[in-house]
Structure 1
């Protein structure tokens, strides 16, 4: 299994126009996974390793005839359990969040330095495979699962390359004299195709250059605190922005320059 170097992340994984034409991990494509996920190897042995905890989801303990031992290493037995892992997380929270085979080191999320290093460049959805280069996901399977329920809010673990990238941009973009606030959490928003198609069309017309801008808003729910589910309140600004994207006609009319969408390249504004 190849591991990709830590790079600045890209939002292209949700794009239509700039989709993954060169997905370098074809073993995660749906048709391939459907054929191979049953050929599961756990613990580096076809018969299991004494003292190694079982996987947190269903598995095939003995590979079927014709399986080349050591060629594959999946955490789940198939697409159904893979999607369950992505949506619900592991059933045993005491196990390493990357390999799901060994207990966490006390006070850490992984079982050791090897898994800790791999977790820094892991897929933001399944968290058990390296993300595909500058994309946020490991392949088209996780991308497909993520885009089933948009808008989707994914918390990024501290120490992940995506977290570090956003944190560094926020800190370098702080232009005020006041003390920088401490970042509590960082989330990745997976948008719907309805929002991305016009965005891609505009980007194609004006060129691929994109700027990082900041928009401050309010919320009336616990989004980002105790839940990643959007609320149904018509007056919760953040949840409605995530549902409808930015629309001038429903923007707050009491801004300094009237009704509009206010953004800034400075993170303190």
Structure 2
């Protein structure tokens, strides 16, 4: 087991376009926003007391937010486009991840009677940035997909269903078929999640059971993606959406 299991989970499944927190072994906290399988975190926020290493990986501090708050964020620093491995190195430097992954602490600053509107706005923005963001459960928007593949599925149905899932912030799912011929995709098939670099990841069996109507829920979106696929993931046929084929029979 690695010393960064929570980071591994978040980077494999993504954070659904919201910040998700990681508590370090020494008590420091960071939050990040990333997409499934991405090599780079879109945004990383380091809470006060946690300092970014002086390396190229951490050079993209978000000066726009600093400008918005008049340089008074006070609660930490926001970085963009940080390599996941750089985040991992930072966590390891602080002893790895804490055994108890509690949510990031919220700012509890109070407004003094003499506080100006400008200062109040600055503090409110800082609190918004440094508070772990949440969003409604996207599964409520996908509930109607239960049993969508109950009597089987075609490449068109895969595009429709997997497209819906991606739109709601889920992993980018693909279906790999045995072959593609002049009539389309065919043969046996298997579902995977695809990362931004084109690499494939195994997915929980619960996903197929849910889509086939054999299980009521597939679990939270961030639990669907599993280990990377070891076999080659380049296929001769693709519809440029959610379908691949291992063998090209279109010229047969």
TM-score for the superposition, normalised by structure 2: 0.26
More strand by share: 2
